[in-house]
A = this chain, B = another copy of it.
C-alpha cells in the first residue's frame, strides 16, 4: 500500500487512576513504553481531558459549594444535585440552553457544550472534574515533555490532542472532539484544490483534529479504561501549518447558531 493508505489507532493501556499533582507526562510516557507501541514519526497522541484535568487539580469538592437560588431551583425542578448545577453555572460564561434538566453553556474557553464541560468524577461521587484551564497549553506542555522523555526534536515530536466528548444538536449520542491541540493543523482547507476529477472542491474545510479525536475514542472508550491512544500513519495535518484547539471554535461572525 502507498503512504497514507492505512492508519492505526493504538490504545495505550496500563494508566493508573490519576490524582492531582501526578506527573502526567511520565505516567503516559511509561505506558507508551510498556505497551510496546513507542513513538514514530507522525504519531498523534490523544489524551482524554479527564486525566489532564485531574493531574492539574481541576477537581471541585462539592462539599465546599453553596448553591445559588438559580441552581437550587433548577436542581429541584429536574431532580439534580444543586451543588453540581452551581459548579456548572460558575464554569459558564453564557447559558445557551437551560431546559429539561440539561444546561448547554459556553465556557470561558469558548466551547459550547453540556454542563460547561463539568464531568462527574469517577474517583468520588462528591466531587466533579472541570475542563483544563487551557487545554492548548496542556497539550503543548505534554508534547514538550514527551519530546524530552523520548529524546525527540523537530518533526519527530508527536502531536498531542486533548479530547472531550461533546453532544451535538440534532444528532443523538456524544462524540470525541479535540479541545486542546499542539503540533498539528486542526483544520485542513481543501478549498481551491482540484479533486481527482479535476474540479475545484468547495466548502471543504475538514476538522481533522476532531476526526482524529473521534477515531481515538474507538479504542479509549469508557469501559476500557484506556485514556490515551496513538493515531499512527496520518500525515495530512502534519503537512499544514500547526494550530490550536481554539482554531476549532467557530468565530461569532460565522456562527448562525450563537
Q: Chain A residues in contact with chain B, CB under 8 A?
A: 1-2, 4-11, 13, 17, 35-36, 97, 99-100, 102, 104, 111-112, 114, 120-123, 125, 165, 168-177, 186-188, 190, 193, 195-197, 199, 201-208, 210-212, 214-215, 217-219, 221-226, 231, 234, 236, 247-251, 254-258
Contacts and interface: CB of A to CB of B under 8 A. Distances in A.
Given A6-B10, A171-B207, A195 B122 contact: yes
Nearest to A178: B171
A171 B249 contact: yes
Nearest to A124: B199
B172 A207 contact: yes
Contacts of A225: 195-196
Among A125, A168, A195, residue most surrounded by chain B Cβ atoms (within 10 Å): A168
B35 A248 contact: no
A10 B234 CA distance: 11
A179 to B, nearest CB: 10
Contacts of A171: 177, 207, 210, 248-250
A116 to B, nearest CB: 13
Given A173-B187, A195-B225, A248-B171, A234 B206 contact: no
A28 to B, nearest CB: 16
B9 A170 contact: no
